[in-house]
Amino acid sequence: MSFSAFCALLWPILLSHVAQSRADPLIGRVSVLKKSPEDLPPLPDYDNPPVPFWEQHGPWVIPVAVFLLTVLLTVVAFPPFQTPEAAYVFAMPALLWAYRRPNFRLYALVTLGAQTVAWWILVWWLHNATWLGYILLGPLMGVWVGSWFLFAGWFVPRLFGLPTMTRLFGVLALGGAWVLIEWSRTWLLSGFPWLPLAASQWERASILQVSAYTGAAGVSFVLVLMNVGFAAYAHRLFFEPELRGLRKRSQEFLLAVFALMVAVSIHIQESVNRYHFNVPLGRVGFVQPNVPQEVKWNPEHGPSILRTLEQTTLTAASRHPDFILWPEAVTPWAAIGDPTVRDWVSNLTAQAGVPVILGSIAIEPPVAAGDKERWYNAALLADPELGVSPSYYAKRHLLPFGEYVPLRWLLGWIDKIVPVGGDFQVGDSAIPLFVPMQGEITALGPLICYEDTFANLARANAQAGADLQIVLTNNGWFGESGGAEQHAAHSVLRAVETRRPVLRCGNAGWSGWIDEFGTVRAVLRAVKQTDADGRVREVVSTQPDRDVEGTIYFRGSGIIDVTRDSRWIDRSSFYVLNGDWFVIASAVMLAFGFMVVGAAQPKSKR
């Protein structure tokens, strides 16, 4: 059959099929109809389209996510964790959520709850001293720090859609609000400035140098600005689709980056090549007796504590330091007020042949008949020739419920944590202790226990002429947890603020040296060392690197050769000279930003 004949035969069939297809559109789909109706895919429900995941689950997923992220980022930003960069974004989830105008009661519950849980985790070490204090401190700090989140939750939505300059003033107001809240923690309820946001950067000296001008508040301010900047940028990227190209830029983020660069530029200016200016200051011995808290004030264990002090002190003295540091309240009895203990300390110092700076209790007789003895938490100087000096430094900021009971007329039924004596008395002088170092007299500015969390006390030491700061502390209260490193972070801030080296001596650690720029130059650690004959023995390392495999919690002594920067000898930092001026500036930024943003609101939102 020819091709033309085949086409003539096929053509009428095709025409017939096309005609039937137009009459019945299902023709041509016979293969589909062979399936049963149950096998066919469901037809789309155009009247009830599927609900997107976020619209269906967002009301509970978003609050849970903000809660978990806020807790996680807040905790890991601080020591003992080594992720200080989390401080740049710890508030970003809550701020981004605030831009979306959530229910304010829900927002408050989530943010206050997140801060409470975060602080319970951060101060877990406190349960070693008091369970009641630990349980109460979490909600207290949650509300205290969380008050900034409440302000941000109310204030941030009002920034959306405003002119650029108005929004930038609003960002500065948020930073100022954080600074004021942290400042209130230095005095309200007697003060608890533990872990300001700046303390998260204790191992990042590059951002800390602004503290020499603004105090640690300047570091916290920059970090808050970064959080607000990141949140504003994220909102532009994900929730403002009408913006394209360069209009996606966030001026809030650019302002935050500018503030960060200003802080870092100070580091470049003052820290680069600083080792060329290092001059020897002296050799210092550190004694860590590691006396457990449960036996510290037990008279039966007093003789063994004295033997430990004698052994560790003479070991340190054998390496010829200029002086030796003991930790806070280290003697089991008062070195001033108990002649036996005073003579024992004097004899040991004479045997060592070098001065000893020790923490001990000082008991003064009553001023008048009928009065009680006056107890002080003191730092004393014992000279090899003169013995224990009758002049001493008395702690200026006492620990509530640790060394005294506030409002005793109301709370007299509560006992203080330190189980000796009555309420301790407050010292009122920052006069330094003087010791010879490298043939010159050096002024030591003492800080006892958590006094190094108060910037004004270290500043007063520097104003009184201190060449270096010394911190005597009993971190045995913390147990072997992150409390010791958290405490040390505050000494880093005080070093930068005052441009004075800081020497810390703890009962169980952290003991070491921090230079004027906040760099940890030496830390005492017990490490295992294998001798040539294969025997393993414990030695004390002073290497600052965390990579050193050892523990800061040990009993023993160590020697550190300390230097100082010649540019800061007999020179005061801007912060020492001018104090908390940045707190005042923050109050001005808050007031002005609040006023400007309020004036820019539509009348319907005011």
pLDDT digits (tens, 9 = 90+) for 445-461: 999 999 999 999 999 99
> If you count them, how many residues does the chain have?
606
At 589 the pLDDT is 98
Percent of the chain with pLDDT over 70: 88
**Average pLDDT value for residue range 243-266:** 91
Q: Which of 421, 403, 402, 404 is nearest to 412 (CA)?
A: 404
In angstroms, the CA 600 to CA 155 distance is 13
Identify the band that residue 409 occupies on the pLDDT scale cut at 50, 70 and 90: low
At 488 the pLDDT is 96
Q: Which of 405, 511, 499 is nearest to 461 (CA)?
A: 499
Question: CA angle at residue 466 from 463 to 468, to 5 degrees?
Answer: 130
At 43 the pLDDT is 62
pLDDT over threshold 70, residue 13: no
Lowest mean pLDDT among 274-288, 307-321, 401-415, 479-493: 401-415
At 317 the pLDDT is 97
**Does 149 or 539 have the greater pLDDT score?**
149
pLDDT over threshold 70, residue 5: no
Q: For residues 216 and 194, is the Cβ–Cβ distance under 8 A?
A: no
pLDDT over threshold 90, residue 505: yes
Identify the band that residue 323 occupies on the pLDDT scale cut at 50, 70 and 90: very high
At 268 the pLDDT is 86
At 222 the pLDDT is 98
At 481 the pLDDT is 80
pLDDT over threshold 60, residue 16: no
**Average pLDDT value for residue range 159-175:** 96
**Average pLDDT value for residue range 217-239:** 96
Give the alpha-carbon dihedral of 88, 90, 96, 97, to 10 degrees: -170
In angstroms, the CA 379 to CA 388 distance is 11
At 30 the pLDDT is 43
Which tens digit of pLDDT belongs to each residue from 520-533? Answer: 999 999 998 877 77
Which of 8-22, 295-309, 345-359, 543-557 has the highest average model confidence (pLDDT)? 345-359
Question: CA angle at residue 377 from 373 to 383, to 5 degrees?
Answer: 105
Which tens digit of pLDDT belongs to each residue from 297-306? Answer: 888 999 999 9
At 18 the pLDDT is 44
At 294 the pLDDT is 80
At 45 the pLDDT is 62
At 402 the pLDDT is 79
pLDDT over threshold 90, residue 422: no
How far is the CA of 522 from the CAs of 72, 218, 598, in angstroms?
A: 30, 26, 51
pLDDT over threshold 50, residue 14: no
pLDDT over threshold 50, residue 423: yes
Q: At 358, is the secondary structure helix, strand, or coil?
A: strand
At 27 the pLDDT is 42
Give the mean pLDDT of the chain: 89
Helix (H) or strand (E) holding 445: strand 440-448
Which tens digit of pLDDT belongs to each residue from 26-81? Answer: 444 444 445 566 666 666 666 666 777 666 666 789 999 999 999 999 999 999 99
pLDDT over threshold 50, residue 358: yes
Q: For residues 508 and 288, is the Cβ–Cβ distance under 8 A?
A: yes
**Does 276 or 271 have the greater pLDDT score?**
276
In angstroms, the CA 10 to CA 431 distance is 116
At 547 the pLDDT is 73
Please provide the distance, in angstroms rounded to a whole number, between the alpha carbons at the two ends of the chain: 92
Identify the band that residue 403 occupies on the pLDDT scale cut at 50, 70 and 90: confident
Which residues touch 310 (CB under 8 Å, ≥6 apart)? 348
At 549 the pLDDT is 82
At 538 the pLDDT is 84
pTM over 0.85: yes
Residue 468 C-alpha from the chain's centroid: 23
pLDDT over threshold 50, residue 307: yes
Lowest mean pLDDT among 406-410, 430-434, 512-516: 406-410
Residue 163: count of CB within 10 angstroms of its CB? 10
Which tens digit of pLDDT belongs to each residue from 111-155? Answer: 999 999 999 999 999 888 889 889 999 999 999 999 999 999 999
At 272 the pLDDT is 74
In angstroms, the CA 569 to CA 462 distance is 11
Identify the band that residue 185 occupies on the pLDDT scale cut at 50, 70 and 90: very high
At 21 the pLDDT is 44
Identify the band that residue 356 occupies on the pLDDT scale cut at 50, 70 and 90: very high
What HEC string does 269-301 produce?
HHHCCHHHHEEEEEEEEEEECCCCHHHHCCHHH
At 47 the pLDDT is 62
DSSP code per residue over 23-54: H-TTTT-HHHHTS-GGGSPPPP-TTSPPPPHH
How far is the CA of 263 from the CAs of 272, 338, 416, 578, in angstroms?
A: 14, 51, 42, 18
